[in-house]
């Protein structure tokens, strides 16, 4: 993932971009599903598609959500207004 270019997110659909942004904000799959009016399973499918498109293949020791948030910010996305810093 360290090889991500700033335009790596261009590979994502608009819906996948919405999902990765919400993941980066710290939303749970259930919260994302409720916000986007889809099922949790649909969110999980989007998360998997994002991982594949960005070439992020975590093992059991790595949190996928952390990798997605990292990819989002490495690609030049900025934290949304009102986001809480950890």
* Structural tokens at position 18: 């919405």
Interval 1-18 mean pLDDT:
74
Give, to the nearest 10 degrees, the angle between helix 14-24 and helix 40-54. 100
For residues 77 and 71, what is the distance between their CA atoms, to the nearest angstrom?
Answer: 9
Nearest CA among 1, 20, 9 for reference residue 58: 1
Per-residue confidence at 27, pLDDT binned at 50, 70, 90?
A: very high
The confidence score (pLDDT) of residue 38 equals 98
| Best CATH choice for the domain 8-73 from the list 1.10.150.530, 1.10.287.610, 1.10.10.10, 3.30.70.120 | 1.10.10.10
Domain ranges of the chain: 8-73
For 38-52, how does the pLDDT look when each residue is reduced to its tens digit (9 = 90+)?
A: 999 999 999 999 888
Q: Is the Cβ–Cβ distance between 75 and 4 less than 8 Å? A: yes
Q: What is the pLDDT of residue 80?
A: 53
Highest mean pLDDT among 11-25, 53-67, 68-82: 11-25
pLDDT at 74 over 90: no
Q: Which helix (H) or strand (E) holds 47?
A: helix 40-54
């Amino acid at each position: 993932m360290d090889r991500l270019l700033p335009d790596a997110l261009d590979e994502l659909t608009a819906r996948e971009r919405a999902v990765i942004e919400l993941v980066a904000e710290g939303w749970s799959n259930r919260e994302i599903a409720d916000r986007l009016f889809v099922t949790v399973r649909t969110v999980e499918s989007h998360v998997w598609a994002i991982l594949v498109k960005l070439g992020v293949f975590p093992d059991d020791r790595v949190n996928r959500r952390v990798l997605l948030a990292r990819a989002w910010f490495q690609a030049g996305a900025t934290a949304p207004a009102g986001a809480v810093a950890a």
